[in-house]
Amino acid sequence: MLDTVFFYLFTLLTLGGAILTVATRNAVHSALFLITSLLGVAGLYLLLHAEFLFAVQIIVYVGGIMVLFLFVIMLVNLDAAAAQRQFSRMWPVALGCVALVGLELFYFLGKGEPAFRIAAPPPVPEPTAGNTERIADVLFSQYLLPFEIASLLLLVAVIGSVVMAKKRI
Amino acid sequence: MHPVGTAHYLAVSAALLLIGTVGILVRRNIVILLMSLELILNAANINLVAFSQHLRAVDGQIFAIVVITVAVAEAAVGLGILIALFRNKESVNADDFDLLKW
């Protein structure tokens, strides 16, 4: 019961924050609403028993990426941009996207509950180790190569962003 | 009230993806375009984690970690490009960068 309440609370946080991110004119307000949305996603991870990802979401997204975004918003002068028109003429395409997904949603809602029944989970016993321990076990054995590739990607991104932001290349 | 199942999380993910798509199509400020991109990547992550919990396998969460890594790299490089663009054109409006447009 409490699970359900928290699910809808975090969903409201996520989707409300996302809508306001897209809809507000001021970029700083957008960034603050994006933080709300990302915190809601972190709460959903917690409800899904992904405690490690919950921590990563808050540390990396809210603590890292959003600070980066706010710094860049302060660096570039947005006063001139805020005075201009904020929304482009692509809104019919966006409306088409919304209509398509809305149609799909109502079609499946009309079909009732059987449409939402996903194949039952396999009968695996509840794990004894914690979430973080299990992730570490798999990450450093089965997925070691993707892990190393990800570190290489981060190195390339660091060098790339430094080169990009230099005054004279 | 129905108990919350995997389908509920998939619906939230679809809605978040939709909002991100609309943001990319509708806004002109490049900073907000990058933010909408983050929303889309988060939608994909919710999907991965929901199925990881559904199948009782931790593999989906590993995928989500890789997606977060890519999102961080993309944000860093994207904002670096944005600063370089702003230095050259004094604008963050996506419609102003049409040098390659015929």
Q: What string of pLDDT tens digits covers the 102 residues of chain B?
A: 677 888 889 889 999 999 999 999 888 888 999 999 999 999 999 999 999 988 888 899 999 999 999 999 999 999 988 888 888 888 888 888 888 887
- Give the mean pLDDT of chain A: 86
Q: A78 and A134: one domain?
A: no
Closest CA to B13 of B66, B52, B56: B52
Distance of alpha carbon A129 from alpha carbon A145, whole angstroms: 24
* pLDDT for the residue numbered A128: 73
Q: A61 and A140: one domain?
A: no
Q: A15 and A70: one domain?
A: yes
- Burial of A111 (C-beta count, 10 Å sphere; 0-12/13-18/19+): exposed
User: Any idea what DSSP says for residue A58?
Assistant: I
Distance of alpha carbon A95 from alpha carbon B22, whole angstroms: 8
Q: A67 and A141: one domain?
A: no
Check B68 against A158: CB less than 8 A apart: no
Task: Tell me the whole-structure pTM to 2 decimals.
Answer: 0.88
- Give yes or no for a contact between B9 and A48, defined as CB atoms under 8 angstroms apart: yes
ipTM of this model? 0.91
- Give yes or no for a contact between B41 and B17, defined as CB atoms under 8 angstroms apart: no
Question: Is pLDDT of A80 > 70?
Answer: no
Q: Measured between beta carbons, which residues in chain A are less than 8 angstroms from residue B73? A: 153-154, 156-157
Which whole number is the average pLDDT over A105-128?
75
Any domain includes A22: yes
Q: Measured between beta carbons, which residues in chain B are less than 8 angstroms from residue A90? A: 25-26
Q: Which of B1, B6, B92 to mutate to test the interface with A (most CBs of A within 10 A)?
A: B92
* pLDDT for the residue numbered B64: 94
Taking CA–CA distances from B74, the nearest residue in chain A reads: A157
- Give yes or no for a contact between B55 and B48, defined as CB atoms under 8 angstroms apart: no
Any domain includes A93: no
For residue B7, the surrounding DSSP H or E stretch is helix B6-26
Q: Measured between beta carbons, which residues in chain A are less than 8 angstroms from residue B89? A: none
Q: A1 and A72: one domain?
A: yes
Question: Chain B within 8 Å of A38 (Cβ-Cβ)?
Answer: yes
Check A22 against B22: CB less than 8 A apart: yes
Check A15 against B29: CB less than 8 A apart: no
* pLDDT for the residue numbered A81: 67
Taking CA–CA distances from B72, the nearest residue in chain A reads: A65
Check A161 against B46: CB less than 8 A apart: no
Question: Chain B within 8 Å of A153 (Cβ-Cβ)?
Answer: yes
Q: How many domains does chain A have?
A: 2
Residue A53 is part of which domain span? 1-86
Residue B28 is part of which domain span? 6-91
Q: Measured between beta carbons, which residues in chain B are less than 8 angstroms from residue A78? A: 29, 31, 92
Taking CA–CA distances from B4, the nearest residue in chain A reads: A4
User: Any idea what DSSP says for residue A129?
Assistant: S
Measured on CA atoms in the order B68, B8, A135, A49, is the torsion positive or negative? Answer: positive
The domain that holds B45 is classified in CATH as 1.10.287.3510
